[in-house]
Amino acid sequence: MNQNSTAGARARRGAGHEPKRKRAREDRMTASRTTPKVPAKVYEPTSQEMTALEAQHARRQKEKNAPRMKVEMKGGAASLSFEHEDQGIAGTLLMEAIGTADFEFVDGLLGQLANAGKQGSVVNAKDLNFLLSVVKGIEPRDQMEAMLATQMAAVHSATMTFARRLNHVENIPQQDSAERAFNKLARTFAAQIEALKRYRSAGEQTVRVEHVTVNDGGQAIVGNVTHGGGHPEKARGNLMNTTYPFQKSPRCTATSKRTRKACQAPAVNGWTVCRFHGARGGAPTGKGNGMYRHGLYTQQAAALNSRLSDLQRESRALLRRLNP
Kindly list the residues in this chain that would bind Zn ion in the complex (CB under 5 A). Answer: 252, 254, 263, 265, 274, 277
Number of other CB atoms surrounding residue 316 within 10 Å = 11
Q: Are 192 and 151 in contact (CB under 8 A)?
A: yes
- In terms of phi and psi (left: phi > 0; alpha: psi -120 to 50; beta: otherwise), the region of 260 is left
**Least distance from C-beta 230 to Zn ion, angstroms?**
24
**Least distance from C-beta 277 to Zn ion, angstroms?**
4
Q: For residues 123 and 71, give the distance between their C-alpha atoms in angstroms, rounded to a whole number.
A: 7
Q: For residues 151 and 134, give the distance between their C-alpha atoms in angstroms, rounded to a whole number.
A: 10
Would you say 154 or 268 has its CB closer to Zn ion? 268
Q: For residues 250 and 139, give the distance between their C-alpha atoms in angstroms, rounded to a whole number.
A: 24
**Least distance from C-beta 201 to Zn ion, angstroms?**
21
**Least distance from C-beta 276 to Zn ion, angstroms?**
5
- 3 state DSSP class of 78: strand
Would you say 97 or 252 has its CB closer to Zn ion? 252
Would you say 110 or 252 has its CB closer to Zn ion? 252
**Least distance from C-beta 225 to Zn ion, angstroms?**
28
Would you say 158 or 265 has its CB closer to Zn ion? 265
Q: For residues 104 and 313, give the distance between their C-alpha atoms in angstroms, rounded to a whole number.
A: 8
Q: For residues 314 and 83, give the distance between their C-alpha atoms in angstroms, rounded to a whole number.
A: 25
Q: Cα dist. 81→62, 78, 217, 233, 276 in Å?
A: 25, 10, 67, 51, 51
Q: Cα dist. 180→153, 154, 167, 176, 192 in Å?
A: 19, 17, 14, 6, 18
Would you say 163 or 254 has its CB closer to Zn ion? 254
Phi, psi of 313 (to 5 degrees): -60, -45
**Least distance from C-beta 280 to Zn ion, angstroms?**
13
Would you say 114 or 274 has its CB closer to Zn ion? 274
Q: For residues 308 and 113, give the distance between their C-alpha atoms in angstroms, rounded to a whole number.
A: 30
Would you say 132 or 263 has its CB closer to Zn ion? 263
Q: For residues 134 and 124, give the distance between their C-alpha atoms in angstroms, rounded to a whole number.
A: 16
Residue 316: DSSP 8-state: H
Would you say 199 or 271 has its CB closer to Zn ion? 271
**Least distance from C-beta 251 to Zn ion, angstroms?**
8
**Least distance from C-beta 279 to Zn ion, angstroms?**
8
